[in-house]
Amino acid sequence: MHDRLQTLPLRLLALPFLFLAFCAGLVAQDDDSANYILTPGDIIAVQVFGQEDLETVQEISNKGSINLGLIGAIQVDRMTVGDAEEKIRQAYMDQQFLRNPQVIIGVREYSPKIVSVLGQVNSPGSVKFDKDANTMPLARVISLVGGFRGIAKKDAIRVVRKDSSGKEHTIEVDMSDIGRNTRGQSEDVGFMVLPDDVIYVPERIF
């Protein structure tokens, strides 16, 4: 038996250790960034355990997709890293290329994410998100553009947001309680904006 083990290729003997290392990478991915939401412009690395020819590094296209070996285009825009990994895994199984693949996605470079602020604020313009962030409190956005002007209508802020199909929706947000005692604040004070939102602060009519 000992002699038979000695004749096994070193690559086969190393497979269990490689698999354990790969699984450790999966756990680290879950802990660190599995909940990050992928967006066009992100550069991601896709690995499939034991399938080196399927490994790839790609930028997510403007349409929100990447192209993978054997299965072609896969839509990953607005999906978490964990959900995208599962979608790719399922695609390889559904198309009967792989039986039970282990897929890991790593974000190599984050796309720049901004919101635009127009209207009655002191410094209208764009605000950048932290590189690995998917949301930002509207209150913080307002502070980063210098706060409201005196004539701002704080209880009727309009946030224009596109859904995954590109259709625009307008959300009206009441920020008139910003800066007040938390007991009496409107729930809207905690409103979170998303990348590419357009925020408009109207003028108050006296």
Could you read off the pLDDT of 5-46 as tens digits, one per residue? 444 454 444 445 444 444 444 444 544 578 899 999 999 999
Q: Please state, in angstroms and rounded to a whole number, the distance separating the CA atoms of residues 77 and 63.
A: 8
Same domain for 123 and 98: no
Same domain for 66 and 14: yes
Structural domain contains residue 104? yes
What integer is the mean pLDDT of 155-173? 91
Same domain for 135 and 38: no
Q: What is the DSSP string of the chain?
A: -HHHHHHS-HHHHHHHHHHHHHHHHHHHHHHHHTTPBP-TT-EEEEEETT-GGG-EEEEPPTTSEEEETTTEEEE-TT-BHHHHHHHHHHHHHHTTS-SS--EEEEEEEPPP-EEEEEESBSS-EEEEPPTT-S-EEHHHHHHHTT-B-TTB-GGGEEEEEE-TTS-EEEEEE--TTTTS-GGG--GGGG-EE-TT-EEEEPBPP-
Tokens of 82: 């964990």
Structural domain contains residue 25? yes
The model's pTM? 0.70
CB-CB neighbours of 199 under 10 Å: 24
Residue 22, domain CATH = 3.30.1950.10
What integer is the mean pLDDT of 99-106? 96
Same domain for 32 and 90: yes
pLDDT, averaged across the chain: 84
Residue 147, domain CATH = 3.10.560.10
Same domain for 179 and 158: yes
pLDDT band, residue 165 (cuts 50/70/90): confident
Structural domain contains residue 145? yes
Q: Would you say 194 and 134 are in contact if contact means Cβ atoms under 8 Å apart? A: yes
Structural domain contains residue 84? yes
Same domain for 137 and 67: no
Same domain for 98 and 9: yes
Number of independent structural domains in the chain: 2
Query: What's the pLDDT at 187?
Result: 61
Expressed as residue numbers, the domain containing 143 is: 114-201
Structural domain contains residue 206? no
Q: Please state, in angstroms and rounded to a whole number, the distance separating the CA atoms of residues 91 and 97.
A: 9
Same domain for 67 and 128: no
Same domain for 105 and 6: yes
Tokens of 193: 């904006």
Per-residue pLDDT of 111-135, as tens digits, reads: 999 999 999 999 999 999 998 888 9
Same domain for 105 and 126: no
Structural domain contains residue 131? yes
Q: What are residue 18's phi and psi, to 5 degrees?
A: -65, -40
